[in-house]
Amino acid sequence: MLQVNNILAEKEKYVAGLKKRNINNATALLNEVIQLDESRKKTQQELDSNLAEANTIAKQIGALMKQGRKEEAEQIKTRTAELKQLNKELADRLNEIQSELTHKLYNIPNVPHESVPAGTSADDNEEIKKAGEIPQLHGQAVPHWDLIKKYDIIDFDLGVKIAGAGFPVYKGKGARLQRALVNYFLDEAVKAGYAEVQPPIVVNEASGYGTGQLPDKEGQMYHVQAENLYLIPTAEVPITNLYRDVILNESELPVKNVGFTPCFRREAGSWGAHVRGLNRLHQFDKVEIVQIRKPEESYQALNEMCAHVEHLLNSLNLPYRILKLCGGDMGFTSALTYDFEVYSAAQEKWLEVSSVSNFETYQANRLKLRYKDENKKSILLHTLNGSAMALPRIMAAILENNQDENGIAIPEVLHMYTGFERI
């Protein structure tokens, strides 16, 4: 969440940034935060003053009792009782103000980086790069939802039988290709210096608030009500929360983690060709990379993470493009996001396969994630994450782009993982 001190110091900058997200009442929102903070400070000062007075009176009472001046001590105790009641009221009021301030901050998104373009939707995103050759398919080429039936490698009907729409069953070479992609992505991340972790796939409420899924995306997550746990929408949530309430030593930085998990999202979107087959699912597999960096290093790290995703797409010989998201299309917690899309030749459309984001201090402030510099000063860190990569649309593009009259060619880098070269 945003830091009040920064809002006070750079209010106009924050207003301009939030307007990029099409928040037109940004000035009023920030003024409410400032007013609540002023009320918090005033109440805290009054409480501190009263506590100091109560402490002084307690010492006076003790001294009078030692001197045998019991009657005078009893008179002073009247003021002690008044202060006790007043301090309780002030403490309750302070908790209310702090709770209201925190709630207000939780519902204000991150301020976009100055390079983020203004815009209202995906149509306003800025194309940064396009690479790779779009394949020319044979005349009988079909989309992946027909290919998977033809070669019996993914079964959506079985998924509906077991769980419902959006939960596919991978079979035979389809399951092996899925596992090959997971292992390849993990191995490449480890080669790039990421430490592999295998986190839980459910998180508590504190973890959801820590990385910003709550309260923003509450309706999109599966909620286990009895235990008040949430199925994760991405491995970013449990991996980043490994460092909640942690103060790192400077020598422990940078932190680089990678993890593979299934991911769950309730809102799979509307029906139609654009969400058909593997294009959008309720459950899908993803390899996620997470970094925790010093503020001055985070944008260099963001570029490194983007280069890592590019390496994976190039190695799979998939045509791709990189988009810088506009203010109206960015995630709630992000300061700057790059989306990677691959071209699906049979569908003749671009499919998003990765988002790489820098959250600056927004998540770290919620997480209370800091490090101590050489002067023992506690400093908020920057958090970053990226899909490296989400599997369903990668699988769709591989199947469609590599089909010929006799089957589907598997990218060469996966042969050692699949044990076969063709489907």
Mean pLDDT, contiguous 10-residue spans, the chain (423 residues)? 96 96 96 97 95 89 85 80 91 96 96 96 97 93 96 97 96 98 98 98 97 90 96 97 96 97 79 76 97 98 98 98 97 98 96 98 98 92 97 97 96 98 98
Write the CB contacts of 4 (distance below 8 Å, at least 6 apart in sequence).
33, 34, 37, 101, 105
Burial class (CB in 10 A: 0-12, 13-18, 19+), 174: buried
Burial class (CB in 10 A: 0-12, 13-18, 19+), 157: exposed
> Number of helices (H) and strands (E), helices first, in the chain?
13, 18
How far is Cα 323 from Cα 337, in angstroms, rounded to an integer? 8
Short-list 306, 302, 340, 301, CA closest to 323 = 340
pLDDT on residue 64:
83
Write the CB contacts of 306 (distance below 8 Å, at least 6 apart in sequence).
322, 338, 340, 356, 386
Cα-based angle 158, 410, 196 (whole degrees, multiple of 5): 80
Cα-based angle 140, 142, 147 (whole degrees, multiple of 5): 120
3-state secondary structure 1-41: CCCHHHHHHCHHHHHHHHHHCCCCCHHHHHHHHHHHHHHHH
All structural domains of the chain:
4-106 (1.10.287.40), 122-418 (3.30.930.10)
SS3 362: helix
pLDDT on residue 316:
98
How far is Cα 59 from Cα 343, in angstroms, rounded to an integer? 77
How far is Cα 314 from Cα 25, in angstroms, rounded to an integer? 43
**Count of CB atoms within 10 A of residue 239's CB?**
25
